[in-house]
Amino acid sequence: MKKIIGILFVSLTLQLSGCATTTNSSVSGVNRSQFLLMPAATVDKMSAQAYSETLSKAKSKSTLNVDKAMYNRVNGISKRLIAQVGVFRPDATKWNWEVNVEKNDQLNAYCMPGGKIMVFSGLVEKISATDDELAAVIGHEIAHALREHGRERMSQAYVQQFGLQALAAVVTKGAIGGAAVKGAGLGSQLFFALPNGREQERESDRIGLELAARAGFNPDAAVTLWQKMSAKSKGAPPEFLSTHPASANRIADLKALAPKVRPLYEAAKAKK
């Protein structure tokens, strides 16, 4: 039995990850093969449910989009970024994108699978983020969604939690068992509890930088953003930094890629 599962696992892994990469290769050069066991529709459904629960909670606490000027600013920047996602994956232009701002002192932002963006007011206020810097963060978060890093993390967690037998059942039945992944609770739990890996972060930095440049935002802002974040980490480190260490590597990588996406930025600016 073990052997059969082993073979199933290998063939499934090859089948799923051997040819699966969620985004088109572009200037940023991201083309890693991915392990995507969970059906995208399942992940998107869980994500949409968890997001709408977050919105209702924020609404009931009167913390949702309370600062209209800030909301308009964040929404405007996000819209420009979203207009460029087709370069990386044409299907994402048809996603049901949503943008919201929550009044919350944390320096944080996220984009859930399927394009559900949330920016915390603390991120805008505490580092006096410029439009270019906000575009760098939001672009990075959008890149996580485009690369389906959440789905990848959930797939890995599924295998770890339910084991190879569950995986074998997926192969024979062609679908994931209902009970195990039912409910937005598990969806949001998986999404928020599992941090992105270092490679996923690197991919999002690169795609986010290109996305922002294509939308006409200065790529140098990614570097100043991380420097501002680092400066804030003395004393009480911002939430965002606990999952996004502003390492020297990260800043060096962004600095190295910036000249490559600069022509995209210049072209976008010339068009405006």
For Zn ion, the closer of residues 93 and 242 by Cβ is 242
For Zn ion, the closer of residues 98 and 203 by Cβ is 203
Report CA-CA distances (Å) from 236 to 140, 192, 266.
23, 21, 37
For Zn ion, the closer of residues 80 and 144 by Cβ is 144
| Residues of span 197-216 touching Zn ion by CB under 5 A | 201, 204
Among 136, 92, 121, 124, smallest CA distance to 226 is for: 136
For Zn ion, the closer of residues 64 and 109 by Cβ is 109
Q: Do strands 109-112 and 98-102 pair parallel, antiparallel, or not at all (unpaired)?
A: unpaired
Minimum CB separation of residue 243 from Zn ion in Å reads 7
For Zn ion, the closer of residues 202 and 260 by Cβ is 202
Contact 201, 247 (CB under 8 A): no
Scanning 29-37, 111-119, 194-202, 251-259 for contacts with Zn ion by CB under 5 A, the matching segment is 194-202
Contact 246, 120 (CB under 8 A): no
Residue type, 87: V
Scanning 29-37, 104-112, 196-204, 228-236 for contacts with Zn ion by CB under 5 A, the matching segment is 196-204
Minimum CB separation of residue 244 from Zn ion in Å reads 5
Q: Do strands 116-120 and 109-112 pair parallel, antiparallel, or not at all (unpaired)?
A: antiparallel
Report phi then psi at 99, rounded to 5: -130, 130
Minimum CB separation of residue 260 from Zn ion in Å reads 20
| Residues of span 135-174 touching Zn ion by CB under 5 A | none
Site string for Zn ion, 82-101 (x = CB under 5 A): --------------------
Scanning 117-125, 152-160, 193-201, 254-262 for contacts with Zn ion by CB under 5 A, the matching segment is 193-201
201 is catalytic: no
Minimum CB separation of residue 145 from Zn ion in Å reads 11
Partner residues linked to 100 by β-bridges: 118
CA 42, CA 79: separation in Å to the nearest integer? Answer: 26
106: burial class by Cβ within 10 Å (0-12, 13-18, 19+)? Answer: middle
The catalytically annotated residue of 98, 102, 133, 141 is 141
Number of residues that bind Zn ion (CB under 5 A): 2
Strands, sheet with 116-120, edge to edge from the N-terminal-most edge strand? 98-102, 116-120, 109-112
Q: Which active-site residues does the annotation give?
A: 141
Q: Footprint of Zn ion on this chain (CB under 5 A)?
A: 201, 204
